[in-house]
Amino acid sequence: MTPVTFDTWIELSLKGTIVLFAAAATCWAMWRASAASRHLVWAAAISALLVLPALSVVVPDVTVPVSLTTLAATSPVVVPLQSDMVVTNGPLKASAREHRASSGMAAPQRRSASEQPRVPVAISTAEIVFAVWAFGAVVLLVRLLMSVVGARRIVGMAETVDDERWHEELERAAAELGVARPPLLLWSPALSVPMTCGLRRPAILLPCAGLHWGPARMRVVLLHELAHIRRRDCLVHCLAQAALALHWCNPLMWMALARLRAERERACDDLVLVTGTRGSDYAEHLLDIARQYRRQGIGVAAVAMARPSELEGRLLAILDPLRSRRPADGARLGWAIVAAALVVLPVSGLRLQARAVIPEEVEASAQTPTPSPTAAPAPTPTPTPAPRPTPPRAVRAQPAPAIPGGSQGAAPVVAPGGGQNADSDEDAKEDPIDEKARGQVAQALAAALKDENASVREQAMQALAQMRSPLAFEPIVAALQDSSPEVRHQAAFSLGQLNDARAVAPLSGALRDADANVRQQAVFALGQLDAREAVPAIAGALKDDNDAEVRKQAAFALGQIGEPAAIPPLIAALKDADDEVREQAAFALGQVGDKAAVPGLVQALSDAKPDVRQQAAFALSQVGDPSAVDALTTAMMKDADPDVRQQAAFALGQVFGRGGHARERNREREKNEKK
CB 553 within 8 A of CB 585: no
3-class secondary structure, 184: strand
CB 205 within 8 A of CB 274: no
d(CA 71, CA 6): 8
d(CA 99, CA 513): 78
pLDDT score at 84: 41
d(CA 627, CA 630): 7
pLDDT score at 489: 86
Model confidence over 83-102: pLDDT tens digits?
Answer: 343 333 333 334 444 444 44
C-alpha 293, offset from chain centre: 12
CB 630 within 8 A of CB 601: no
d(CA 225, CA 146): 23
CB 493 within 8 A of CB 479: no
pLDDT score at 193: 85
Question: What is the longest distance spanned by two Cα atoms in the chain?
Answer: 111
* Domain at 429-568: CATH architecture: Alpha Horseshoe (1.25)
d(CA 593, CA 596): 9
d(CA 305, CA 293): 10
302-304 and 159-160 beta bridge pairing: unpaired
What radius of gyration do the chain's Cα atoms show?
31
Closest CA relative to residue 550, chosen from 539, 559, 562, 564: 539
d(CA 42, CA 629): 38
Residue type at 501? A
Determine the angle formed by the axes of helices 579-592 and 548-561, rounding to 10 degrees. Answer: 10
Which run of H or of E encompasses 506? helix 504-509
pTM greater than 0.85 (yes/no)? no
Sign of the Cα torsion 108, 111, 115, 121 reads: positive
Q: What is the DSSP letter of 178?
A: T
Determine the angle formed by the axes of helices 661-674 and 279-291, rounding to 10 degrees. Answer: 90
How many C-beta atoms surround the C-beta of residue 511 within 10 A?
22
> What are the mean pLDDT values of the chain's consecutive 10-residue runs (675 residues total)?
60 85 88 87 88 76 53 40 38 40 41 45 70 90 88 86 88 89 86 85 87 88 92 90 90 91 91 89 86 68 76 83 78 74 73 49 42 35 34 31 37 36 45 65 77 80 72 81 84 82 88 91 88 89 91 90 89 92 91 88 92 92 86 90 90 70 58 60
Sign of the Cα torsion 390, 581, 263, 139 reads: positive
Domains 429-568 and 593-675 share a fold: yes
Sorted by where each begins, the domain ranges of the chain are: 145-318, 429-568, 593-675
Residue type at 396? R
pLDDT score at 664: 57
Closest CA relative to residue 148, chosen from 231, 223, 255, 239: 239
Alpha carbons within 13 angstroms on the beta-carbon side of residue 175 total 6
Q: Which option is the CATH number for 593-675: 3.40.630.30, 1.10.760.10, 3.40.50.150, 1.25.10.10?
A: 1.25.10.10
Residue type at 67? S
